[in-house]
Chains A and B, each alone.
Chain A
């Protein structure tokens, strides 16, 4: 399977979702277009383009989609996304300071390879420093979380 074919199949799936979603909305008439009118036109065009893309991918040889050689070393990006996801999930429940300590600590230790103690120290300094900068100087309201402070 070529890279182009994979991408256009994904786009076709999105376009089908778009067509179905638009058909569930009131379409209106050309004199008075409804909320589904524009999304339906766009999904239709996207469907046409993705069909064309899939068709062309059979006509010409393209780069072949191969796991690791295509994606490169995925360990660091996945670790970053997981750490980021965890801190987003905790952002409101535990507050900014704790969520950012977790984020920075994980990134310094897990992704950057710093020792655990150093990572925690950097994370604490970064988190508290940024809290002072954002909340005290820039007056940006940040969540305090269940602990009620910071």
Chain B
């Protein structure tokens, strides 16, 4: 009953004309961000973050959330029409989506992608409304040791689910935590590694680092590519799927919603994992799995539904625990902190308008998205006509303004530049950037919780095992690390044997 009352109250907030406008702007910008290859949701949200400073906190989060799930919608367009994923979660959509386009079914693929995203998005919003308050009530009991172990588990899971070598991912995680220690020590006021820069007292800015590592490095990578691809232009009359295509997509849409929502709760690149898992599931359940990759509607419906449902699921740890599961949500968390609101278990009780307003706005946002994406797909396709060489100078200028407007600090601009260059190098060296960024944000909170726990226990590390919750979380973290190491060693051994075999 409380949930329905909350949704009703939230709808009143979300239906305010200004909030509808910001929701519309958010999903529109999100779709554009998703359509444009090279500008992911993280870069999009961080570039537009400063615009929200003058807004009410509810409107700001409604707009930023709109950009986030709007990008998931938009990402499918380029995958289907150009075989270029606008967003990492849409990689798998290229396989069958582009093949459908080549067979003249681009319109149907786009319609099903939008319809699936709409259903997946709405189912996940229902999940948020029911699960988040319950989780928040449970998390109110958390003390410093529990908070430390929750954050530890989030980071360990992030490294486990990350791409590439676990050793590199763990190193990025520790490096991020280390960078998080720069600045004034909150307990003693001691300046750590600031070298006389007063601007560093608050630590290395999360937004310049995130924007540099994800946004600027992406532009640097894209500037090395010289490929021009053909865009397939669907006709409006071909937009509706056939009855058979529609029926075949129902099962994948339902399964994709459930899979996506559940995977969305995990930290890391959940929306990417969700789309791949959904594709694998559909292929497994298909009567003719060998037909996947040749233009099956199930290969579009499942993953596209799943990545949108995951975007909704990812809001649960953020809104109820104050722990962002990924870099895009972490930027939303920074937006709340800038407005003086601490996300966490008390958010729902202390800021009910904000929580329910944001949740309810997602229904409206999903509705706007389907209206925008189905008939106006041609308009978004036109965006792809703008050559990247004309687009990136403008994106770089917006980044410059965005960062400067936060603190009017030139040092932040240099941090942005250096992070961009470092991000480019790290990508070349196959390092996963998400753990570094997440650890940078969670680092100061983890350190505080760790030191508070030690002070409370008089230096006894067993405090982390005294409470049932932190004990379970620590054991889980340990098991994940052990399984990661074992998996790594087995994999290395197998590769070595293969190499020896090849040499023979």
Which residues of B are at the interface with A, using a C-beta cutoff of 8 A? 50-51, 54, 165, 167-168, 170-171, 174-175, 177-178, 181, 185, 187-188, 190, 192-193, 216, 219-221, 223-224, 389-390, 392-394, 396-398, 400-401, 404-405, 408, 410, 413-414, 417, 420-421, 424, 428-431, 447, 450-451, 454-455, 458-459, 461, 492, 495-496, 499
B495 touches A80 (CB 8 A): no
Return the contact of B178 from the options A46, A52, A96 (Cβ within 8 A): A46
Q: Within the complex, which residue of B188, B216, B396, B454 is in contact with A107, where a contact is CB–CB below 8 Å? A: B396
> A35–B190 Cα gap in the complex (Å)?
7
Also in contact, A81 and B220, with CB within 8 A (given A38-B447, A111-B389): yes
Nearest B residue to A108 via CB reads B393
**Can you list 20 contacts pairing A with B, beta carbon distance less than 8 Å?**
A11-B171, A26-B188, A26-B190, A29-B459, A31-B454, A43-B178, A45-B174, A60-B492, A80-B392, A84-B396, A88-B400, A88-B417, A96-B401, A100-B397, A103-B393, A103-B400, A108-B393, A130-B394, A134-B401, A143-B404
Given the interface pairs A29-B459, A108-B393, the reply to whether A46 lies near B451 with Cβ below 8 Å is: no
State A90–B165 Cα separation when bound (angstroms): 40
Contact A21–B193 (Cβ < 8 Å): yes
Q: Which residue of A lies closest to B421 (CB)?
A: A81
Beyond A46-B174, A80-B219, A134-B401, is A34–B459 a contact (Cβ under 8 Å)? no
Q: Are A7 and B429 in contact (CB under 8 A)?
A: yes
A111-150 CB contacts (< 8 Å) to partner B: 111-114, 122, 126-127, 130, 134, 138-143
How long is the Cα–Cα vector from A8 to B224 in the complex, in angstroms?
26
The answer, yes or no, to whether A76 is at the interface (CB within 8 Å) is yes
In Å, the complex CA distance between A38 and B185 comes to 11
Is there an interface contact between A35 and B188, defined as CB atoms closer than 8 Å?
Answer: yes
A48 vs B459: C-alpha distance when bound (angstroms): 24
* A87 to B496 CA separation, bound complex (whole angstroms): 49
Which residue from chain A places its CB closest to the CB of B167 in the assembled complex? A53
Interface of A is mostly: helix
Tell me if B220 and A77 are in contact (CB < 8 A): yes
**Residue ID in chain B nearest A63 by CB atoms:** B430
- A31 near B393: Cβ-Cβ < 8 Å: no
Interface string of A12-52 (1 = CB under 8 A from B): 00100010010001100111111111110011011001101
Cα–Cα distance between A76 and B393 once the two chains are bound (Å): 12
The answer to whether A112 touches B178 (Cβ under 8 A) is no
Question: Closest residue of chain A to B409, judged by CB?
Answer: A92
CB contact between A100 and one of B175, B400, B420 (< 8 Å): that residue: B400
Chain B residues, Cβ within 8 Å of A70: 428
> Is residue A64 within 8 Å, beta carbon to beta carbon, of the partner chain?
no
* A80-B220, A84-B420 known, 19 other contacts, Cβ within 8 Å: A3-B430, A6-B429, A7-B431, A14-B175, A14-B178, A35-B188, A35-B190, A38-B447, A42-B181, A49-B167, A59-B492, A60-B492, A81-B220, A85-B417, A88-B410, A100-B397, A107-B392, A108-B393, A139-B54
Q: How far is the CA of A127 from the CA of B400 in the complex (A)?
A: 12
Task: Verify A35–B192 contact, CB threshold 8 A.
Answer: yes
Measured CB to CB, the closest approach of chain B to A43, in angstroms, equals 6
Contacts of A87 in B (CB 8 A): 400
Enumerate chain A residues within 8 angstroms of B50, measured Cβ to Cβ. 140
- A56 CB–B CB distance under 8 Å: yes
User: In the complex, what's the smallest C-beta–C-beta distance from B462 to chain A, in angstroms?
Assistant: 12
Q: Which residues of B contact A142 (CB under 8 A)?
A: 401, 404-405
- How close is A88's CB to chain B, nearest CB, in angstroms? 4
Do A91 and B392 touch (CB < 8 A)? no
Q: Which chain A positions have C-beta within 8 A of B392?
A: 80, 107
Query: Complex formed: what's the CA distance from A70 to B401 in Å?
Result: 33
Cβ–Cβ < 8 Å partners of A127 in chain B: 397
Min CB distance, B418 to chain A, in Å? 10
